[in-house]
Each structure stands twice: as C-alpha cells, then as structure tokens.
Chains A and B, each alone.
With several copies, the nearest count.
Chain A
Amino acid sequence: MKIHEHTAKDLFEAEGIAVPKRYVANTTSEAEEAALKIAGAVVVKAQILVAGRGKAGAILKANGKEETSKAARQLLGAIFRGATVSSVLVEEQLSISKEFYLGFAIERASKKAIMIASEEGGVDLEETARSRPTAILRILLDPLLGLRTYQARLAGKALNIPTPALASFIGICQRMYKIFVENDCELLESNPLALTKSSQLVALDARMVIDDNASYKHPEHGEGTEELTPRESSAKQMGLSFVELDGDVGIIGNGAGLVMATLDLVAHHGAKAANFLDVGGGAQAEQVKAAVQLIVKLPNVKVILLNIMGGITRCDEVAMGVVQAFTETGSKLPIVSRLVGTREEEGQRILSEAGIEMTKSMELAAKKAVSLLK
C-alpha cells in the first residue's frame, strides 16, 4: 500500500526529521492561502501515488499567490500516469547545496532489511544503479538490533556528508529506520534528502510503501484501495486476489502460480487475458460465485477460462459457484473449464448438467478459449 507524500512527511516530522514547511491544498484557494503563509518561492506537488512525478510534470515551481494558484489549477483534477490529482502539497522552496538518496527496503536475497544510500540523490535510483552502481551504498541491517549508530556514521562518511551535519544524518537514518519498522514498510525513502545552504539536512521528498500483509496493524493509513480500480477494491473486500488487465479472456483459477501460468498460456496462443483472478485455496461456492460475477461484468471479456487444480479447493463447490453466478447474472458468455482434483467427478457433473464444456488440460482449455474469440 503506497502512502501519500504528505502523510509520510507528517510521520517524518513527528519523529523529528526536518521537512520543508508545507500545506495540503484540495482547492486552488487553499493553495493560494498556503502560498501566502509560506511567503516565498514554493513547489506545488501533485499528491498522487505514482513514481516519477517530476518527469511527468506533476511538480511545478511557483512564486507568490498568482503563480501558486495557476500551478494548483493546472494540477488539480489532472491525470498523470492514470492517477487523478485530488490534492496538492504547497511547500516552501529551500536553497539546496547538495542532494542525497536515503532509503530502507527489504532485500530478498539476504532475507533482511537494508539501508540504501547514495551521494547522488534527486535522480532516479534505478538509473544510478545502472550507470554508476558503485555510487550506491547498501547496508545490511540485523533484524533484531536494526541500524546501529556506527553503520549510519560510516554511511554518512561514505556519502561525504559534511562533518557539521553528520550527527543530524545519523539521527535521520535512525529515525527513518524506526518509521520503516514501526509502520511495516516495504520501502521508505527520501529522494532527495537535501543539504541546504545553511547546512541543514531536510527530507525534500518522502516515499512510503506499507506491506499489505501488515496493513491491519496500521488502520490509520486506510485500506490502500486508492491505487485500485473500483472492481479491484470490491474484489479485495471479498478476499479475491484480482488484477484488471486489458485483454478479452476472463480468467478464474486457484493459486497464484497456476493463474499466472494460465495467463501465459492465453498469451502463448496469441490472445490477452482480461484479468488475473485467484479464488485462493479452499474457496467456497459463495466466493466462486462472486468471482464469476466479477468477471462476467468486465466490459472487455468475450470468453471465460476457468482453471481449477483442486487440492484444498473442492471442485463441487467451484462448480456450484459457477452455475449460480451464470444463473443469477443470466450471462451468455462462453466459458471453457478445466476442473480437476478433490471431488472432480461431482464438480464436472454439475458443470456438464449446466451445459458447460469441460476440457482435459489447462493447455487445451486455454487453446479452446482463445479459439472462441474468433
């Protein structure tokens, strides 16, 4: 779950990390007020959850009420990379002498959290990673002890943080790590972490991604549905793992790997899936019904491909759910199914009785589904 810049900055501030003076504005007039309060050059930043806002033109500079108003008007309601801007952050411009990168992330290979730091901040870290990998410092963090002072100190030295700002840098590292762990973050970064002309370290940007599996611990951050389509949101509430795509073959399966492989098969046969949908292990009829109803209503879908490899999942439950969904929605969409595993005879019988065609393998099912598109 991605967290808005302004929320992350509030957390930074509460923890004692310096951030620029700033106001959230939902309207042009709120932006004007903010400009008056700040009384100087400002940056107007779209509060959207996509990366690369600067390049996309979602961050504008302004000076004074008129320019700020104009920038806010330009951003509010605009769409950048699919995200609509409903608020902007009006923030004081600071005189910067140098920009650093500082972030915390989970590293799969080491099975640990790491601190990432670079003297080259304010630019895309991925680009730095490609062009000058040695410019990026990666520090492994002990899962129980966390970031130790000496590690932060060495990072500060490696980044050539000026001596008067070194203690502040160490403090920022420790405080960001605290926020990272206490909020169950997958990612927390400040890019840039800027050194001002007055030798202060200030987090000019803040990006925060919370582990979805831990979001129950952090209800203050909402349900993380802002990045989802309305259908994805409602699927999430039904406990379905669902992603909307832009093809026309509706997919229902159980198990993430199997569903991914089903999408791949559709692609292999030259078509595109309309969605990813994993009903999960041990799905009941009710859940399957909801899943089918969801797919049936996807605007692009021309055919449905059902692929169940029942282990925990009972085929009869799946079949009942499918039949109920078609009955209730009255859908006439063609459906190709493959249903094996626990209680497969019962399941296959239920589907056959409802006139739904069965195939012997997922590969045949995919091929058949794609052929029905033509």
Chain B
Amino acid sequence: MNIVAVLVNNNTRILVQGITGREGANHTRSMLQYGTKVVAGVTPGKKGAKIEGVPVFDSVQEAIDFDPKINTSVLFVPARQVEDAVYEAADSAIPLIVIITENVPVHSTIRVVDYAARKGLQIVGPNCPGVISPGLSKVGIMPGHLFSKGKVGMVSRSGTLTYEIASSLTRAGIGQSTAIGIGGDPVIGLSFMDAVQLLEDDPETEKIVIVGEIGGDAEERLAASRAKLQNRKPMVSFVAGRAAPPGRRMGHAGAIISMGSGTAEEKTKALREAGIPVADLPSEISDLLSSSESKDK
C-alpha cells in the first residue's frame, strides 16, 4: 500500500470507475486541473474512448495492466452498480477505493465494506466528497480552490459544509494538511474515528477540525475514545443539525435523529466533556483553532 500524507499524496495514481458519465467526466477534468494523476478510467463497453486525454477501459484489470501503479480508485458509477464496481476494484487489490456515489443501498455498503476489510483495503464513502491534500492531490469532488496547503486536518460527514469551513479557514490564513470527507451514510468505510486516527498519526497535521452532524453516535464514540488519550493534537468541532426535528432524514441517509438518539445536543455535550470545543457558528472555527494551542499537547 502506498498511503502516505494521509490517504492521498503526489504518488496517488487514480483510476476513475464510471469515467464516461457526466459526473465522472466533469470531475476527471477537475481533478486533472488540480494536478491529480488520473491515469485511467473504466466504463464497460467504452474501451478505447478518452476522457480529457485519459484512456478508458472495459475492466479494472485492463486499466491495471495499462498502469500497474494505480493505487486508488474513485467511483462515480450509478448507485445500483456500486457493489459490483467495488468488488471489481477490490479483486484487483486497489488499496484505496473512494465511493462518491450517493443513494447506495445500505446492505450493499455493508457487504462491500466487509469484503474490502477482509482484503485489507480501505473504502472511503459512499456518499462522500472524497479526500484532498491541498497542493498534492485531490481524489473526489471538492472545489480545490477553496482549500490551501497547511497544517490543519479535517474530517467531515458533510461535503459542502466542509468546503464552507475550509474556505473560511483559507480566508483566515489557516491552511489544511488533508481534508477527508467520510460521507453522510449510516454505514461508511473509513469511520470518523479511523479518519481522526490517520490525522493524529500524520506528521503534516498539527490540529484537527471535525465536522459532525445529527444521526448515529460516531461523534460520541470519538469523544469517548479521545477523552482517554494522553497526547493528542488540538481538536475543534462543529455539529450540524441542532435545529433538525427528530425522525426526519435531513438529506443524508445518516442524518436522522431516531429513537431519541443522535441529537446535536448529545454530540455537543459529549465533545465538550472530552475537552473538544464545539463551534456555535462555522465561522468560529478559525478562532477556536487559534486558541486551541494551550489546551492540548
């Protein structure tokens, strides 16, 4: 596996599954413009085509035969093809598989996440914006110009909210090491806790911003695990959905307060009790980051 600088770096060589679709093609262009090495694409039946100069193949194996150094696949295939596309990428042992597609059936996600885990491969997503290491590589759909190179790592369940916060950090002169969009589904490959651990272990990251939202208890579990840590990087957080009513899905499949749990209040409380400041407004994050130095290591 070739994952340094947290998931993606300038050795990242990308395969785009579903490259000939509208989203696949658009984001291939955008990734290339950012400097990301998109080296091949796959759309069954479209072998021989080129998208932005990137050769298209019928199968993952053909793409790997073309460029054996492919180490990441990013998926734009329709939701009902995601399960099979992940199996295909996993059977070619691609170590990092980023699923951008939304509306993937949760039972499909459960199966592919399990399958990848037993092969030692990492899935990010589904329903996520991908991963960006500003200046190095962008694997996904983030608008690169809102990000800037720096020392703050980000983990987020939300796409546009990540862009919002990253752009406010950028305006405040605070650059980012890596921003990881883990996705808004109830079951995802790389978890909140796993993603934070990658940033903790990353020498390029000095502080961490986490962006949570209602639904599930990933934030609470993260808070509980960090409360025990002796040495930890300064962390600040934001939790979306304080005004959301219970029992209604707020856009993301995972953003739902159900059976009375998963509220923003609980998450905020758990994070604060673990010593992690929670911003009331997105714009407060840069201030909280600046003042976070002293509280942690």
User: Which residues of A approach B to under 8 Å, CB–CB?
Assistant: 106, 108-109, 111-113, 126, 142-145, 148-150, 153-154, 157, 163, 181, 184, 186, 211-214, 216-217, 241, 243, 245, 253-261, 263-268, 272-273, 276, 278, 281-282, 309-312, 340-342, 361-363
> Which residues of the partner chain A approach B88 to less than 8 Å between Cβ atoms?
148, 150
- Given A108-B216, A214-B106, A363-B283, the answer on whether A154 and B251 have CB atoms closer than 8 Å is no
Are A213 and B160 closer than 8 Å at their CB atoms? no
Residue in chain A with minimal CB distance to B45:
A163
Query: A273 CA to B163 CA in the complex, in Å?
Result: 23
Are A213 and B103 closer than 8 Å at their CB atoms? yes
Are B110 and A309 closer than 8 Å at their CB atoms? no
Are B143 and A108 closer than 8 Å at their CB atoms? no
Are B158 and A263 closer than 8 Å at their CB atoms? no
Interface size in chain B (residues, C-beta < 8 A): 77
> Which residues of the partner chain A approach B158 to less than 8 Å between Cβ atoms?
255-258, 260
- Given A108-B254, A255-B159, the answer on whether A268 and B23 have CB atoms closer than 8 Å is no
Residue in chain A with minimal CB distance to B187:
A111
Query: A148 CA to B22 CA in the complex, in Å?
Result: 26
Are A264 and B240 closer than 8 Å at their CB atoms? yes
- Given A255-B158, A361-B283, the answer on whether A309 and B163 have CB atoms closer than 8 Å is yes
Are B282 and A211 closer than 8 Å at their CB atoms? no
> Which residues of the partner chain A approach B238 to less than 8 Å between Cβ atoms?
261
User: Is B186 in the interface zone, CB < 8 Å from A?
Assistant: yes
Are A267 and B242 closer than 8 Å at their CB atoms? yes
Are B161 and A149 closer than 8 Å at their CB atoms? no
* In the complex, chain B residues 37-62 whose Cβ is within 8 Å of any chain A Cβ: 44-45, 58-61
- Can you list 11 pairs linking A and B with CB atoms under 8 Å apart? A148-B87, A150-B85, A150-B87, A153-B44, A212-B249, A261-B240, A268-B280, A276-B244, A309-B160, A312-B26, A363-B281
Are A106 and B159 closer than 8 Å at their CB atoms? no
Are A256 and B104 closer than 8 Å at their CB atoms? no
Further 12 A-B residue pairs, CB within 8 A, beyond A211-B253, A311-B146: A109-B221, A111-B187, A113-B110, A145-B87, A148-B84, A184-B106, A214-B107, A245-B245, A254-B160, A255-B160, A255-B161, A257-B184
Query: A157 CA to B45 CA in the complex, in Å?
Result: 9
> Which residues of the partner chain A approach B245 to less than 8 Å between Cβ atoms?
243, 245
User: Is B115 in the interface zone, CB < 8 Å from A?
Assistant: yes
* In the complex, chain B residues 243-261 whose Cβ is within 8 Å of any chain A Cβ: 243-245, 248-255, 259-260
Query: A253 CA to B163 CA in the complex, in Å?
Result: 14
Are A259 and B250 closer than 8 Å at their CB atoms? yes
> Which residues of the partner chain B approach A211 to less than 8 Å between Cβ atoms?
105-107, 253
Are A106 and B187 closer than 8 Å at their CB atoms? yes
Q: In whole Å, how far is A23's beta carbon from the nearest beta carbon of chain B? A: 30
User: Is B267 in the interface zone, CB < 8 Å from A?
Assistant: no
Contact with A along B131-175 (1 / 0, CB 8 A): 000000000011100100000000011111111100100000000
Are A143 and B253 closer than 8 Å at their CB atoms? no
Are B111 and A143 closer than 8 Å at their CB atoms? yes
Which of these, B186, B241, B249, contacts A106 with CB under 8 Å?
A: B186
Q: In whole Å, how far is B165's beta carbon from the nearest beta carbon of chain A? A: 9
Are B240 and A260 closer than 8 Å at their CB atoms? yes
Residue in chain B with minimal CB distance to A163:
B45
- Given A143-B111, A211-B107, the answer on whether A108 and B244 have CB atoms closer than 8 Å is no
Are B243 and A267 closer than 8 Å at their CB atoms? yes
Q: In whole Å, how far is A190's beta carbon from the nearest beta carbon of chain B? A: 17
Are A278 and B106 closer than 8 Å at their CB atoms? no
Are A213 and B115 closer than 8 Å at their CB atoms? no
Query: A281 CA to B143 CA in the complex, in Å?
Result: 12
User: Is B206 in the interface zone, CB < 8 Å from A?
Assistant: no
- Given A150-B88, A261-B240, A309-B164, the answer on whether A256 and B23 have CB atoms closer than 8 Å is no
Query: A273 CA to B162 CA in the complex, in Å?
Result: 22
Q: In whole Å, how far is B237's beta carbon from the nearest beta carbon of chain A? A: 13
Query: A340 CA to B145 CA in the complex, in Å?
Result: 12
> Which residues of the partner chain A approach B184 to less than 8 Å between Cβ atoms?
256-257
Which of these, A145, A259, A264, contacts B251 with CB under 8 Å?
A: A259
User: Is B198 in the interface zone, CB < 8 Å from A?
Assistant: no
> Which residues of the partner chain B approach A273 to less than 8 Å between Cβ atoms?
243
Are A260 and B281 closer than 8 Å at their CB atoms? no
User: Is B199 in the interface zone, CB < 8 Å from A?
Assistant: no
Are A213 and B253 closer than 8 Å at their CB atoms? yes
Q: In whole Å, how far is B103's beta carbon from the nearest beta carbon of chain A? A: 5
Are B159 and A311 closer than 8 Å at their CB atoms? yes
Q: In whole Å, how far is A344's beta carbon from the nearest beta carbon of chain B? A: 11
Are B23 and A282 closer than 8 Å at their CB atoms? yes
- Given A126-B260, A214-B106, the answer on whether A260 and B280 have CB atoms closer than 8 Å is no
> Which residues of the partner chain B approach A309 to less than 8 Å between Cβ atoms?
160, 163-164, 167
Residue in chain B with minimal CB distance to A366:
B281
User: Is B227 in the interface zone, CB < 8 Å from A?
Assistant: no
The 3 closest A-B pairs by CB, nearest first: A257-B158, A255-B160, A256-B251
Are A312 and B141 closer than 8 Å at their CB atoms? yes
Q: In whole Å, how far is B119's beta carbon from the nearest beta carbon of chain A? A: 11
Residue in chain A with minimal CB distance to B44:
A153
Q: In whole Å, how far is A244's beta carbon from the nearest beta carbon of chain B? A: 9
Which of these, A126, A216, A256, contacts B250 with CB under 8 Å?
A: A256
Which of these, B91, B105, B241, B252, contacts A264 with CB under 8 Å?
A: B241
Residue in chain A with minimal CB distance to B262:
A108
Q: In whole Å, how far is A153's beta carbon from the nearest beta carbon of chain B? A: 6
Are B104 and A213 closer than 8 Å at their CB atoms? yes
- Given A213-B104, A216-B80, A362-B282, the answer on whether A263 and B244 have CB atoms closer than 8 Å is yes
Query: A264 CA to B186 CA in the complex, in Å?
Result: 22
Contact with A along B81-109 (1 / 0, CB 8 A): 00011011001000000000001111110
Are A157 and B58 closer than 8 Å at their CB atoms? yes
